[in-house]
Amino acid sequence: MPPKSATKRKAVVPNGTPNSTSSKKPKLEPTTTPSSDPLRQPHHLAAIAEDHGIVQRKFYPPELSNARAHAYATDALPRPIEQLTAAQEETAPARANVTVGAAVVHWFKTDLRVADNRALWEARQKAGADVPLIGLFVVSPEDMQAHLTAPARVDFIFRTLRILRADLEALGIPLYIETVPKRREIPERIIEFMQEWGASHLFANMEYEVDELRREAKIIRLGAEKGIAVEVVHDTCVVPPGALTSGAGRQYAVYSPWYRAWMAHVHAHPELLRPFTVPAGNSPAAREKVAVLFDCEVPAIPHDKQLSAEEAERFAALWPAGEHEAMDRLDKFCEEKIAAYGKRRNFPADAATSSISVHLAAGTLSARTAVKTARDRNKTKKLDAGVEGIQTWISEVAWRDFYRHVLVNWPYICMNKPFKPEYSNIAWSYNASHLAAWREGRTGFPLVDAAMRQLRRVGWMHNRCRMVVASFLSKDLLADWRLGERHFMEHLVDGDFASNSGGWGFSASVGVDPQPYFRVFNPLLQSEKFDPAGEYIRKWVPELRNVKGKAVHDPYGRGAGAQAKKEGYPRPIVDHKESRERALKAYKAGIERDKP
């Protein structure tokens, strides 16, 4: 049985006997290292970021300087993807010489599916018909803390694991799950699993965040030292990062030309949309060799990520888990709604979107399958022709690829820095009452409040509303956009670092391909345009449910103030026009600070 508590234990070996060997715990490095290297000096506002919980010093060093961010951007420092590639290249001869052993292992991470899973499929090919294939999932409580994973998302992952375990068991493949309390110990612990099971090859799909790229590079080298081949492959994106470059030979930083290149690349390489088949199961003989591993159950969710009983029941009903549900939801969307997607997608009161983001984030659905399924509903194989709604929806799914490509090339985005480092110099406000009002949905701006209450209740928010509330926080309140980025990750059931960071960068005008900083969403105009009848507002802000007509968008400014006040709805906490002027001055001063 897997561990019931957050303590390290020896893995169960296929013959059922515990292995007596143990490993030394890696020596923990200090969180800061004094250095005269200017690239290792923190940003001048690092202490403020730490004080407000933006940088978690338990896991990470202080906010890095703008100079260090520029060093990554100009190739002066190696990117984590380059460190991983170097590990792969340098260990290639050793890995090629590894012969298949007593088992082959696939390490599940954010790819919790059996269908269209490249690394799982390749693991099956390596194992062949007679060698058992084992599934592995590592629960890392510290990673959940470091990555601010929402309890709703953790709950979704654990419900998915139960479904995945059953799907694999039907194929005669066990899923072994173990909790590793210290995130630094994961590479060594995985190699221990391999040794205890006599496994020769570990397969995994690549993740593109900095922590994960560095971890995979370490595991590859550790495996090579122990005679174990660790194969990390691209699968998360339709087009792998690095495959697309501009005419100048660099990564695109603007979506439109990138998307044109992405479509052209897919058209030229149709195999990119060819799904991987469900792998063959273990033979009866191979299954018997690993029979004891089928006793492994899904462990309890770490205590600090557990939902209440009422929340667990609510989220299970809202967000059914597993890849079968993902495909059902995708097929239904393509059948019923995708044709009108381009026209209706911006209206939060309409159920016009696919709502598959939670499945893309957990990997219960691949981006490849999503794009191919939509394309196959079109009357052409071209991604830029045919039904407008299908074209638009595929272009929206492609943003997910784009933000990962950006993350790989500008890794400091993972380090609490904006894509444009000079925007780190903006003097943000940290008004506690304003932040609390924004988080709780009581700013006095009805569309903002409706969206924030939806997030708290269902763990999800319509994309148009995500842009509105992000602009409001960073510009109307002049609050540090990273506080909003964090709040989203702590509450979104579809929390995905690359997409979340990219969205906040766009709305706060600090990211890649953003709206210019002098463009500030007017929450009233956004409300009137995208919720014209006030249906969305009335659903999520019950205090305004009986306010008639257009007054619902601005009750205190349109004659419904007494009614709103009686129902307990607050007045606007800021004046939009004044806030806009304040934001423009602060942004301009911040970005000009380091100019000569």
The reported pLDDT for the residue numbered 484 is 98
Model confidence band, residue 2 (pLDDT cutoffs 50, 70, 90): very low
In sequence order, the β-bridge partners of residue 199 are 103
Q: Which residue has the higher pLDDT, 575 or 15?
A: 575
* Helix or strand run (H / E) with residue 344: helix 341-344
Indicate if the pLDDT at residue 319 is higher than 50.
Answer: yes
C-alpha–C-alpha distance, residues 377 and 374, integer Å: 5
Other Cβ atoms less than 10 A from the Cβ of 304: the count is 10
pLDDT at 518: 86
pLDDT band at 35 (very low <50, low <70, confident <90, very high): low
Q: Which residues contact 406 (CB under 8 A, 6 or more apart)?
A: 251, 253, 413, 419, 498, 502, 512
pLDDT tens track for 490-535: 999 999 999 999 999 999 999 997 668 888 999 999 999 999 999 9
Q: For residues 180 and 187, what is the distance between their CA atoms, to the nearest angstrom?
A: 10
On the question of pLDDT at 4 being above 90, the answer is: no
- Amino acid at site 223: G
Selecting among 258, 428, 438, 540, the annotated active-site residue is 428
Active site residue 504: yes
- Catalytic, 410? Answer no
Residues 532, 333, 310, CA angle at the centre, nearest 5°? 80
50 is catalytic: no
Given 107, 197, 504, 540, the catalytic residue: 504
Span 223-237, average pLDDT:
98
Catalytic residue (choose from 463, 490, 522, 528): 463
* Residue 38 pLDDT grade (very low, low, confident, very high; cuts 50, 70, 90): confident
* Active-site option among 297, 396, 528, 567: 396
Q: Tokens standing for 596?
A: 């000569």
438 given a catalytic annotation: no
Active site residue 463: yes
Which residue among the candidates 258, 399, 438, 460 is catalytic per the annotation? 399
Task: Answer yes or no: is pLDDT of 20 > 60.
Answer: no
Residue 6's CB: how many other CB atoms inside 10 A? 16
**Active-site residue, from 107, 258, 481, 540:** 481
- Is residue 258 among the annotated active site residues? no
Greater pLDDT, 166 or 518: 166
- Total-model pTM: 0.93
Q: What is the pLDDT of residues 376-390, one digit of tens each?
A: 999 999 999 999 999
